Amino acid sequence: MFAASRVFGAAQRRAFSASARDLSKVTVLGAAGGIGQPLSLLLKLNPRVTDLALYDIRGGPGVAADISHINTASKVTGYEPTPSGLDAALKGAEIVLIPAGVPRKPGMTRDDLFNTNASIVRDLAKAAAKSAPDANILVISNPVNSTVPIVAEIFKAAGVYNPKRLFGVTTLDVVRASRFVSEIKKTDPADENIVVVGGHSGVTIVPLFSQSSHPDLVGDANLLKRVQFGGDEVVQAKDGAGSATLSMAMAGARFAESLLKAKTQSGVVEPTFVDSPLYKDQGIDFFASKVELGPNGVEKIMDVGKITSEEQKLLDACLADLKKASCSEDSLPEHAH
């Protein structure tokens, strides 16, 4: 029989069950979706998660009932799509993951999702600001480059904004770049951890191969295209059935695990899209770079580091695009506020 403990290892699971497990409530908003369901499954298998709250506008309780039968120690609760259900799902959450929203269809850009997803993220952010003001908010919903600033604005308006607790999940870009490199170099994917900076759309996705063990890959146009447009590759292949879900669920679960691990371990570093000082002088408030995580969320934001002239050109294009996005945020449609 498949034992869930074999996924995380019985020894690791026992280590958590033996020690006084501090409570780690993780909430998924959009838990019944293409990302939400596998993400919730992976969180259920994570021994650091003690309480898993699953909320969606349809199907939350069903997914929770299913996942609750998995033989790991965490408590799983599904919540009804009501204001009180949302409040209860959020109350006491240490981490709130937000994959709620619609995905792309072929021919669409992530920005084409803005009008629909901005409202969804705005309303969920309002609820989180009220019911989980101190939680780490992990935004998955696209367009991440714009939905993260919306969450910031909502938390600021509620007087509870903490920039150290707000993350745009760009981990899938790191996962993709690392796997693509291991395929080219025929290395163990576990040995590849490519740094990807910028944002999460097209030219804002900037992999830094010069900082990997394969600097010769700087200038590999096909590899760069696959990393910057990996999302489009999946949208095309799914042919109208949506966008990346399973690989995103893994990436989201990896980032949540890093945050939980960082509560007790130092040196946990992940590239992520945060409220960053790096390019504020250029009018760019949010940027993905390597961030050291800790018990307070963002402990240290690292700068881009030494890059080649070719990578600088990619970064310049990224910054120009992010600046355009931040200018358009200044004129956000009313409903996005």
Ligand X SMILES: O=C(O)C[C@H](O)C(=O)O
| 56 among annotated binding-site residues | yes
Q: How far apart are CA 259 and CA 333, in angstroms?
A: 33
| Closest approach of ligand NAD to the CB of residue 244, in Å | 4
Residue 100 makes contact with ligand NAD by CB under 6 A: yes
| Closest approach of ligand X to the CB of residue 48, in Å | 26
| 22 among annotated binding-site residues | no
Nearest C-alpha neighbor of 230 from the set 178, 276, 269: 178
**What's the angle, vertex CA 7, arms to CA 57 and CA 28, rounded to 5?**
15
Instruction: Label residue 144 left, alpha or beta by phi (over 0 means left) and psi (-120 to 50 means alpha).
Output: alpha
Structure token pair of residue 178:
């690392």
Whichever of 7 and 102 has its CB closer to ligand NAD, that residue is: 102
Structure token pair of residue 157:
């308006």
Whichever of 29 and 218 has its CB closer to ligand NAD, that residue is: 29
Please give the DSSP secondary-structure letter assigned to residue 137. Answer: E
Residue 54 touches which of ligand X, ligand NAD, none (Cβ within 5-8 Å per kind): none
| Closest approach of ligand X to the CB of residue 140, in Å | 8
End-to-end CA distance of the chain: 50
Whichever of 140 and 298 has its CB closer to ligand NAD, that residue is: 140
Residue 144 makes contact with ligand NAD by CB under 6 A: yes
Residue 284 makes contact with ligand NAD by CB under 6 A: no
The H-assigned helical ranges of 132-245 are 144-157, 171-185, 221-228, 230-238
CB 273 within 8 A of CB 285: no
CB 125 within 8 A of CB 86: no
Q: How far apart are CA 287 and CA 303, in angstroms?
A: 10
| 177 among annotated binding-site residues | no
Whichever of 25 and 104 has its CB closer to ligand NAD, that residue is: 104
Residue 274 touches which of ligand NAD, ligand X, none (Cβ within 5-8 Å per kind): none
The residue at minimum Cβ distance from ligand NAD is 33
Binding site for ligand X (CB under 6 A): 103-104, 110, 142, 172, 200, 230-231, 234-235, 243-244
- For tokens 């995380």, the residue is 8
| Closest approach of ligand X to the CB of residue 17, in Å | 35
Q: Which of 95, 129, 140, 196 binds ligand NAD (CB under 6 A)?
A: 140
Catalytic annotation, residues = 200
- For tokens 């869930």, the residue is 4
- Find the helix or strand (DSSP H, E) in which 78 lies: strand 75-79
Residues that bind ligand NAD (CB under 6 A): 29-30, 32-36, 55-58, 99-104, 113, 117, 120, 123-124, 140-142, 144, 169, 172, 200, 242-245, 248
Binding-site residues for NAD(+)? 30-36, 56, 117, 140-142, 248
Instruction: Please enumerate, by residue number, every residue annotated as part of a binding site.
Output: 30-36, 56, 104, 110, 117, 140-142, 176, 248
